[in-house]
Structure formats: structure tokens, C-alpha cells
Amino acid sequence: MDRLVIKGGKRLKGEVEISGAKNAALPAIAAALLASGEHMVARVPDLRDIKTMGRLLENMGAEFHYKPHKAVITTNKINNLEAPYELVKEMRASVLVLGPMLARFGKAKVSLPGGCAIGARPINLHLMGLEKMGAKIELESGYVIASAKRLKGADIHFDTVTVTGTENLMMAASLAKGTTILRNAAREPEVADLASALTAMGARINGAGKSTIEIEGADELRPLTHKVIPDRIEAGTFMAIAGITGGDITIRGCVPEHVKAFLIKLKAAGLRINEGADWVRVIGPGSLKAVNIKTAPYPGFPTDMQAQFMALMSIAKGTSIITETIFENRFMHVAELRRMGANISFKGNVATVRGAKGLKGANVMATDLRASASLVVAALRAEGETTIHRVYHLDRGYEKIEEKLTRLGADVRRKKR
Ligand code: EPU
């Protein structure tokens, strides 16, 4: 297992180009299952999760060719309607094949994802929606077995806002008979991006990016050509890095609108921000101010930035209260940040961060993708050397992280085992 060794204390400066969004690329690739033919998805980041999605589609009989940053998927010969445990356990987003498979082929067998490091993460709402659309759902030996002659449009209300749930049902509804309404739908930019991909395939979708989405099903869709949006979480992570190192980083190729909630909190913490149409320049202050945050579905403060913001607050002047409302167990990074000298405690979903004078390098363990990003943020500020173990978590979501950091002046090395 690879480790990252970071010598902290440098002010990072320069420009960084943001990659395509993992969480927009994954559903776009799954959407290829909705139509026969050759599909092309551009700006796909070179990440382990993308390869896992590719293996999943190949296992179903599709061809998947990936060359940074383009994925070409051929779906003429799908002959296995199963997402096996071995692949789903590697990546929960595998569940995104359920809606398209069921809608196009009338059948799907998908392993239940199970819990993970950040929470129980059930898929009951995905299944509820498909049932409302007329699917028969059975649970057998850890698998969801879904069948339907043809899905029918339905009026569906989500009790909880769910990103992949909204995406799964939007894809299923694109081939259903009649109109589907999704209420209390996720408004994340990745959902809107999938809607534009589906629209390019011939789907008729209204309201994507809003909490009520209306989809008029088509009998058939055409192959997809789509370029995914930039990764707002990668962009936000580099902003946190500029802030914690007192650096000056221009983040290029991003959509400032997608990181609004984060920018507001960064400004409150004392960072100087300039933005243009597709760039944000972030200048870190000499001393950070403590700011409270509470995660919420988009357009609120993203749970995927909570850990990185906590790292930033660990050296701010004052006390910051961080409330996580999306996942019940997303404070795994707290114990690791403490190893570096951070003064953080938590009870339930509320963490109290008392700004420390500084951080010190240590051996720390990555536990999930965004937790590992927070360790990188902290390590770049810490005095001395930090070794981040189990860095494969980071590799799921950050393309060429050490190259990008090195170009900004960081001292970071990967040690292979
Ligand atoms: N939930 C249910 N039932 C469901 C679905 C969700 O109770 O059927 C609950 C979850 O347990 C959670 C909340 O609803 O408490 C929100 O979960 P959501 O379904 O929105 O999460 P997701 O779709 O599984 C996506 C991202 C995550 C991101 C969350 C929240 C992808 C592939 N994953 O997950 O990204 O944290 O939305 O924004 O889009 C990451 O990239 O590191 C990551 C974890």
C-alpha cells in the first residue's frame, strides 16, 4: 500500500488545473447502459473509481476504453445484468447501474452496497422509487433483484435528499412510459450535469438542479456524447490548501458558482478571494479566523468538504463548531488530526475545534477519501514530516495529487511498497 510523505511548512503558490468531477463522470458512464451504441464521455478524471466503473460495465458485456481523459463505451452486447459483490464493495457508486439496467433490459441484479467508513448509507430510497415505477424488488443473499416489463412514470417524493438516488431514478425515468416527477430531489451540480448528458441522449428533463424534476420517458435513447463538469470538491480542497499554507493559488478550470457556500466560509475565515468565469484565486492570511459550519445538501456547505475545512480550522484563532448533518460517522479524521496536534473533540455529529498554535508531522491513517484529503491539507502546514498511510483512499478521488502539489511548491513524495 502506497504512502504519501509530506514535509510541511511551505507557502504553496501558483496555478492548478482542476480535473473532471468523479461524481459526475460515474453517473454519465452508467448512463451509457441506457442506449445501444458507442458512447463518449470527455473530461473523465484518471482515477481508480473510474476504472472500477469500467470493469463493472465490461463484466456486463460492454467495451470500455479509457485514455485520459476520454471514456468510450460500447453497449451493443450487454449480456450479463449483474453488478457483483466484488465490484460493488470496492465502490458504492456501482449502484448507479441499477436504474439504467432495469429501465433498458427489464432486469437487474445488484449487490447491496452495505455500510462504509462514513455511515450506513442504505439505498432504500432508490428501491422505493423503482417500486413506485412498477418494478418488483426482491432482496436475496445480499443482492437486489429487480424486474419490470417496462417502468412506468410515477410521482416520487424523497424523504431524504439523495444524490445517487436522484440520479438512479432520473436515468430509469428517461426510458419509462409516461412522466415521472421527483420531489425533494438532490440539486447538486452533478445531478444537473447528468440531466444534460441524458438530454443529449434524447431524454426530456425539466427542473434538473431544482428540487422538483420532471422527466418524460422516451421509448429509446441515442448514444451519449458528453463532457463532465469540473470537480468542485477538488477545487475546494486546493482552496483549503491555499488557506492553511498562507499561500496564493489560482484554481483554474473550475465553476466558482459550484463552490459558493465554501467560498463564503473561506472569506469569513480571512482568506482573500478573487474570481473570474472559470477561475478562483485564493490567498491565505497570516492568521485564520474560526468559523462555524454545518453541512447540508447543495447549495449548502458540502459534506465532502467538511474534513478539509476542519483541518483548516485546526489552526484558526478561536473555536469553531462543525456540524455534520449528512453522514452519521464522518469524523474519522478527527483522531488522525489530533495525532498532528489538533485540539478537536466531538459528540455525535458536532465537533468542536479549538485552534492550535501549530501542527506537527506524524504518522496518520487515511480512512476514507475526504478524510485523507484533510490529512493532506493538515500535513502541508505541519512542522516536520507527515506520513499518510493507506493513500489508496485518496487515489479514488484526486487525480495526480502529488504532481499538482509539487508544481505549487510542496515537498511531497509517494512511497510505494
Ligand atoms: N440515504 C438514505 N437512503 C437512501 C439513500 C441515501 O437514507 O436510499 C441517506 C444516506 O445514508 C445519507 C444521505 O441520505 O445519510 C445522503 O446520501 P446520498 O444518497 O446523497 O449519498 P450518495 O449518493 O451515496 C453522493 C456522493 C458522495 C457524497 C454524497 C453527499 C457520489 C458517487 N457520491 O453519495 O461522495 O458525499 O452524495 O453529497 O456521487 C465522495 O466523493 O467522497 C463521496 C462520498
| Residues 258-296: tens digit of each pLDDT | 999 999 999 999 999 999 999 999 999 999 999 999 999
Q: How many A from CA of 248 to the centre of ligand 1?
A: 32
Q: Which DSSP category does 94 fall into?
A: G
Answer yes or no: is pLDDT of 120 > 80: no
* Helix ranges restricted to H, 11-80: 22-31, 48-59
Query: In the CATH scheme, what architecture does the domain 3-19+230-415 have?
Result: Alpha-beta prism (3.65)
* pLDDT over threshold 90, residue 68: yes
Q: Tell me whether domains 3-19+230-415 and 22-227 share a fold.
A: yes
| Catalytic residue selected from 1, 116, 120, 139 | 116
Q: What is the CA radius of gyration of the chain?
A: 21
280 burial (CB, 10 Å; 0-12 / 13-18 / 19+) is: buried
What is the per-residue pLDDT across 123-170, written as a single tens digit (0 to 9) for each?
A: 999 999 999 999 999 999 999 999 999 999 999 999 999 999 999 999
CA 274 / ligand 1 centre spacing (Å): 31
Predicted confidence band of residue 118 (pLDDT cuts 50, 70, 90): confident
Break the chain into its structural domains and give their ranges.
3-19+230-415, 22-227
CATH of 22-227, one of 3.40.50.1950, 1.10.150.20, 3.65.10.10, 3.40.50.300: 3.65.10.10
Show the cell assigned to 54.
469500467
Choosing from 52, 112, 127, 164 the residue with most ligand 1 atoms within 8 A of its CB, the one to mutate for a pocket test is 164
